[in-house]
């Protein structure tokens, strides 16, 4: 029989609080707050319109660069986005593993604010206008965008920066029986579901093996796997549950981790061993149910693995609106672009970030979808548009890869660039500074410092 926590009859977490608070936040996220920046149709008709579809890394960079240099008497910049916030997605894994003694509306909102930056803060002092709505369809020929709540809007120039969606690769039952980590609410649901899982076991006084499975060994899967042990330690203490009965398994279809082989794989394996994480390489998930996943191993053998929680981080593809609106697409649904990030045979339509397939002219392979590159795409597209307006030429886009930083739990991280691979505490600190630099790039100094410090304080509770 499990012991109770001190003299209390129950943990301070209350089941109803968890679900009421989570659904409160989900509703809060779904309802767009009245933005301080508004879209005026009458003004737009008097000027040429540059439509930026999406407020991710690419869209924000393009809007800010255009605002600094464009003739605002002739052009209007309109950002169309589903939410009135910009989500700093590299830190979503922190929300999925965020521990709170009691899950309340206040703590969920605090977590939200650590990664969600209001658009009115980003565009304060600029002439960028925001249209908060859901995009239903795009007509490339007329450059008309169909929206859910507003009338269709047409622009003279379009920038496709809509991000990506989860790719389930047609695996039977995977979408219905797994959690993902693509949005803020996705990440908070992982945290709440894990808490509720151990709460139910505590209430029923049941002790058994708890199986947590992560499908996908890319950057998202690895950083989540390495951060989960700290969260689980706190949950087990909270519910007085045996820590050695909670297991984490990472299933990866290739023989690589974080899209790398060799030394990177060995260093990640070291971290997995430290946290007692089971790793299955070259193993594919072929089917998923509410309680099991079917696996196919390298030798062709099949295995049925039980799970209490399945988190899918195994792949992404272009936004479905893009796939349904454009005829010429890459296999992952993205838009093939020229060396000037412009669509072939569709002048004045540009694509960047996860919306674009950009070929590395040196290697001949598509560029990876990374936040740092998406930001660079947005800046380049803006400069290209400005140059065309002024009748000037520009050099073709050339990627500048700064390397990848991936947290490995606690205060460790790994840095990778070409043949350079470094792991340690200093890299984790560097990752934090990179977050600060990004905040300073899109926000005034004081709000940027405040946001960064608040996020660091929230995330430090996870370590």
**CATH at residue 142:** 3.50.50.100
pLDDT band at 20 (very low <50, low <70, confident <90, very high): low
Query: How far is residue 188's CA from residue 117's CA, in Å, rounded to a whole number?
Result: 17
Specify if 445 maps to a domain. Answer: no
Q: 238 and 133, same structural domain?
A: no
Query: How far is residue 46's CA from residue 76's CA, in Å, rounded to a whole number?
Result: 9
Given a contact cutoff of 8 angstroms between Cβ atoms, the answer to whether 254 and 224 are in contact is no
Q: 77 and 202, same structural domain?
A: no
pLDDT band at 247 (very low <50, low <70, confident <90, very high): very high
Q: Is the pLDDT of residue 145 over 70?
A: yes
Given a contact cutoff of 8 angstroms between Cβ atoms, the answer to whether 179 and 213 are in contact is no
Q: 142 and 42, same structural domain?
A: yes
Given a contact cutoff of 8 angstroms between Cβ atoms, the answer to whether 387 and 396 are in contact is no
Specify if 205 maps to a domain. Answer: yes
Q: 350 and 295, same structural domain?
A: no
Q: 161 and 51, same structural domain?
A: yes
The pLDDT value recorded for residue 107 is: 74
Q: Is the pLDDT of residue 137 over 90?
A: yes
In the chain, the number of structural domains is 2
Query: How far is residue 125's CA from residue 129's CA, in Å, rounded to a whole number?
Result: 11
Specify if 409 maps to a domain. Answer: no
Mean pLDDT is lowest, of 8-12, 44-48, 67-71, 346-350, for 8-12
Out of 401, 421, 436, a domain closes at 401
pTM reported for the whole predicted model: 0.89
The pLDDT value recorded for residue 78 is: 98
pLDDT band at 365 (very low <50, low <70, confident <90, very high): confident
Q: Which of 31, 25, 8 is nearest to 192 (CA)?
A: 25
The pLDDT value recorded for residue 98 is: 86
Question: Can you tell me the mean pLDDT for 100-114?
Answer: 77
Q: Is the pLDDT of residue 42 over 70?
A: no
Given a contact cutoff of 8 angstroms between Cβ atoms, the answer to whether 227 and 94 are in contact is yes
Q: Which of 85, 127, 126 is nearest to 109 (CA)?
A: 85
Specify if 450 maps to a domain. Answer: no
Q: 178 and 156, same structural domain?
A: no
Out of 401, 425, 443, a domain closes at 401
Out of 291, 314, 337, a domain closes at 314
Specify if 348 maps to a domain. Answer: yes
Residues 186-238: tens digit of each pLDDT: 999 999 999 999 999 999 999 999 999 999 999 999 999 999 999 999 999 99
The pLDDT value recorded for residue 177 is: 98
Number of H helices, E strands in the chain: 13, 24
pLDDT band at 166 (very low <50, low <70, confident <90, very high): very high
The pLDDT value recorded for residue 462 is: 66
Specify if 4 maps to a domain. Answer: no
The pLDDT value recorded for residue 363 is: 83
Q: 321 and 207, same structural domain?
A: no
Specify if 333 maps to a domain. Answer: yes
The pLDDT value recorded for residue 17 is: 52
Q: 241 and 145, same structural domain?
A: no
Q: Taking CA 263 as the corner, what is the angle to CA 260 and CA 267, rounded to the nearest 5 degrees?
A: 95
Q: What percent of the chain has pLDDT over 70?
A: 89
Question: Can you tell me the mean pLDDT for 274-279?
Answer: 97
Q: 208 and 101, same structural domain?
A: no
Q: Is the pLDDT of residue 39 over 70?
A: no
pLDDT band at 410 (very low <50, low <70, confident <90, very high): confident
Given a contact cutoff of 8 angstroms between Cβ atoms, the answer to whether 33 and 84 are in contact is yes
Specify if 363 maps to a domain. Answer: yes
Q: 223 and 296, same structural domain?
A: yes
* Residue 235: domain span: 15-24+168-314
Q: 226 and 178, same structural domain?
A: yes
Q: Taking CA 320 as the corner, what is the angle to CA 315 and CA 322, rounded to the nearest 5 degrees?
A: 115
Query: How far is residue 172's CA from residue 175's CA, in Å, rounded to a whole number?
Result: 8
pLDDT band at 360 (very low <50, low <70, confident <90, very high): confident
Six token digits for residue 4: 């109770």
Q: 80 and 159, same structural domain?
A: yes
């Amino acid at each position: 029989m499990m012991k109770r926590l001190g003299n209390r009859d129950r943990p301070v977490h209350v089941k109803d609080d968890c679900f009421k608070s989570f659904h409160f936040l989900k509703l809060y996220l779904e309802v767009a707050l009245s933005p301080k920046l508004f879209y005026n149709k009458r003004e737009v008709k008097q000027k040429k319109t540059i439509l930026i579809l999406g407020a991710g890394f690419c869209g924000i960079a393009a809007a800010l660069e255009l605002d600094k240099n464009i003739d605002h008497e002739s052009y209007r910049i309109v950002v169309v986005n589903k939410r009135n916030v910009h989500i700093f997605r590299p830190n979503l894994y922190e929300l999925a593993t965020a521990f709170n003694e009691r899950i309340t509306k206040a703590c969920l909102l605090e977590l939200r604010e650590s990664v969600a930056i209001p658009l009115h803060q980003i565009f304060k002092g600029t002439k960028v206008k925001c249209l908060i709505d859901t995009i239903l369809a795009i007509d490339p020929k007329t450059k008309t965008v169909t929206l859910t709540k507003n009338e269709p809007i047409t622009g003279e120039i379009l920038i496709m920066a809509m991000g990506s969606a989860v790719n389930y690769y047609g695996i039977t039952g995977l979408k219905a029986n797994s959690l993902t980590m693509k949005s803020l609410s996705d990440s908070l649901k992982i945290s709440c579901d894990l808490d509720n899982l151990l709460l139910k076991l505590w209430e029923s006084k049941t002790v058994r093996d708890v199986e947590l499975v992560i499908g996908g060994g890319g950057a998202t899967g690895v950083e989540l796997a390495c951060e989960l042990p700290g969260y689980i330690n706190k949950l087990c203490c909270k519910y007085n549950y045996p820590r050695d009965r909670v297991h984490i398994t990472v299933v990866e279809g290739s023989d690589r981790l974080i899209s790398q082989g060799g030394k990177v794989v060995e260093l990640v394996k070291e971290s997995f061993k430290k946290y007692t994480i089971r790793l299955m390489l070259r193993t594919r998930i072929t089917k998923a149910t509410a309680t099991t996943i079917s696996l196919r191993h390298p030798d062709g053998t099949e295995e049925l693995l039980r799970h209490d929680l399945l988190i899918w981080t195994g792949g992404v593809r272009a936004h479905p609106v893009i796939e349904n609106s454009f005829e010429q697409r890459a296999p992952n649904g993205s838009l093939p672009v020229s060396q000037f990030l412009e669509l072939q045979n569709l002048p004045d339509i540009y694509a960047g970030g996860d919306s674009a397939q950009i070929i590395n002219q040196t290697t001949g392979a598509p560029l990876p979808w990374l936040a740092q590159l998406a930001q660079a795409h947005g800046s380049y597209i803006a400069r290209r548009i400005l140059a065309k307006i002024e009748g000037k030429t520009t050099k073709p886009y050339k990627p500048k890869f700064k390397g990848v930083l991936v947290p490995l739990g606690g205060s460790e991280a790994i840095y990778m660039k070409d043949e350079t691979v470094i792991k340690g505490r200093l890299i984790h600190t560097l990752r934090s500074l990179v977050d600060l630099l990004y905040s300073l790039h899109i926000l005034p100094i004081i709000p940027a410092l405040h946001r960064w410090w608040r996020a660091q304080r929230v995330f430090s509770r996870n370590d």
